[in-house]
Amino acid sequence: MKPKTQLEIELARLGADRLTREPPVDRKENHLLLGEIRLSRASQSFESLVDTHFEQIRGGRNKAAAAALRRHLEYFFLCLSKCVMSHKYLVVSLTSNAYSKDYFLKKYNLKYAAVDAIVSYLEDAGLAFVIKGRKYRNDPMRTRIYPKPELSQGLLEYSLLTETDFDGDYVQFNDGADNDYDGDRLSSEKWNNLISNLGKDHPDRVDLNRINEFLEPHQWVSKGPVILKYKYSPFQSGRLYTGYQELLDKKYRIRINTEIDGEAISEVDFNANHLRLALAVLHDEDAGDSPYEDIMELANVDRALVKSFITVAMGASSRDKARSSWNDNRSSRKVRRADGDFLLIEAATNKRFQMLKLYDGWGIFAQNLEGAILRDVMLQGVDKGIVVLPVHDAVAVQQKHEEWAIGTMLEAWSRVAASSGAARARVKVDRP
């Protein structure tokens, strides 16, 4: 018998975990939208899976309606496979008039009748947890779905075989309606109209087209285009996104054990990046070699809590909202301890970085700067013929390009952060 690869071992561990794990916590960062998706190569087992369930819900539909239903069922199962991987809910609309108005529902030619039929089937057959959406005037909540173990075990293997089209739609508005944001935001309809009217020579389009035209012939797991996504306004949270970054890589070392064009990868990651950017851009101050560890020692808590606090505190528009968000992310029985940790880490942060201003929503501007830095690195990769995949505040490259990635990331950070030289980035490297 052929020995299992490390990737196969990690997938098996993940599959065993999903048999017993509860559904995800229902919050927006744990939501994944239904969209057009396909397998990167033919799979008889997937065809059989779809056929089995399709026959249960086809009913008396005519040929055209049956074909549309089967197409939607394929989308559902492949998107749900990604949900099992990332432990997120699949989000769908069960509001019929949304299908004539919503940009992405129309783009992917999704139909209310097919979506409604599949959701009803999954719920009635006991194959999925279903949380029905509700109507709100300004922010309607859509229906959330997560497969139960008997379905998820059959889907997980396909999560690494999914891919999405390079269709030219690489600059998008993501209506991440966020209760933590108090500034002015364009409506989804107005912003999508603005995006659709961007000229072909707009810098965002030129850069993203160039990046994706280079990437498309290359091969990697969960392949899809790199998208520039804005939230709230054209100047905020312009982050680079690709489905590759949804692969797990902490408790289950899946992403780092994948390959680019058949070669092992390295991930080069900015260390404490939002904190460093804030200090550099606003105060021309260097954060030091170990800012999270400095706070950790003062507060006597672990590093993960410090990182979580900084993310929440820099993203929130007020202290009350940060504190509420911090406590919401912990189970009710741990809120008292969590609130105590919040106060400890807050005091330690203020002591270590006295110039740092928290709770002013600057995190969304940091995301914009981060996106600009990674875009710069990717464009330099295109010039050098090097595949660079963005992963939040890191990049994945073939190991032979690791040193190039380190130098290019540090140089791009200094240029974009406009530091006089007092502040600089730090990176860390991860390998299989």
Residue 174 has pLDDT above 70, yes or no: no
Residue 375 has pLDDT above 70, yes or no: yes
Q: What is the model's pTM?
A: 0.88
Averaged pLDDT, 300-317 = 92
What pLDDT, on a 0 to 100 scale, did the predictor assign at position 305? 92
Residues 233, 185: contact at Cβ < 8 Å? Answer: yes
pLDDT in tens, 6-18: 999 999 999 999 8
What pLDDT, on a 0 to 100 scale, did the predictor assign at position 119? 97
Torsion-angle region of 358 (φ positive above 0: left; ψ -120 to 50: alpha; else: beta): beta
Neighbours of 91 (CB within 10 A): 20
pLDDT in tens, 182-239: 334 444 555 556 666 666 778 888 999 999 999 999 999 999 999 998 765 554 447 8
**How many percent of the chain have pLDDT more than 90?**
70
- Give the C-alpha separation, 18 to 432, whole Å: 23
Residues 37, 71: contact at Cβ < 8 Å? Answer: no
Averaged pLDDT, 348-368 = 91
Residue 67 has pLDDT above 70, yes or no: yes
What pLDDT, on a 0 to 100 scale, did the predictor assign at position 231? 66
**How many percent of the chain have pLDDT more than 70?**
88
What pLDDT, on a 0 to 100 scale, did the predictor assign at position 229? 85
Cα Rg of the chain (Å, integer) = 22
What pLDDT, on a 0 to 100 scale, did the predictor assign at position 239? 85
Greatest alpha-carbon span in the chain: 71
31-33 and 89-92 beta bridge pairing:
parallel
Altogether, the residues listed in the chain come to a count of 432
Q: Which residue has the tokens 């507060």?
A: 299
Residue 400 has pLDDT above 90, yes or no: yes
Averaged pLDDT, 82-89 = 95
Residue 425 has pLDDT above 80, yes or no: yes
What pLDDT, on a 0 to 100 scale, did the predictor assign at position 140? 61
Residue 171 has pLDDT above 70, yes or no: yes
Q: Which one of 54-63, 127-136, 176-185 scores highest in mean pLDDT?
A: 54-63
pLDDT band at 370 (very low <50, low <70, confident <90, very high): very high
Q: Which one of 132-146, 252-266, 310-324, 410-424 scores highest in mean pLDDT?
A: 252-266
Q: Which residue has the tokens 């990868």?
A: 265
Averaged pLDDT, 160-167 = 94
Instruction: State the average pLDDT for the chain.
Output: 88
**Integer angstrom CA distances of residue 291 from 7, 50, 78, 355:** 33, 50, 40, 14
Q: Choose the weakest-confidence range: 62-66, 88-92, 196-200, 343-347.
A: 196-200
Residue 79 has pLDDT above 90, yes or no: yes
What pLDDT, on a 0 to 100 scale, did the predictor assign at position 104? 86
pLDDT band at 381 (very low <50, low <70, confident <90, very high): very high
Averaged pLDDT, 97-107 = 88
Packed helices 402-416 and 363-384: angle between N→C axes, nearest 10 degrees: 130
Averaged pLDDT, 256-285 = 95
What pLDDT, on a 0 to 100 scale, did the predictor assign at position 365? 85
What pLDDT, on a 0 to 100 scale, did the predictor assign at position 3? 73
pLDDT band at 177 (very low <50, low <70, confident <90, very high): very low
Return the sign of the alpha-carbon dihedral for residues 52, 58, 60, 62. Answer: negative
Residue 361 has pLDDT above 50, yes or no: yes
What pLDDT, on a 0 to 100 scale, did the predictor assign at position 226? 97
Averaged pLDDT, 414-429 = 87
Residue 148 has pLDDT above 70, yes or no: yes
What pLDDT, on a 0 to 100 scale, did the predictor assign at position 29? 85
List, in sequence order, the alpha helices (H) in 3-145: 6-18, 44-57, 63-86, 103-107, 112-124
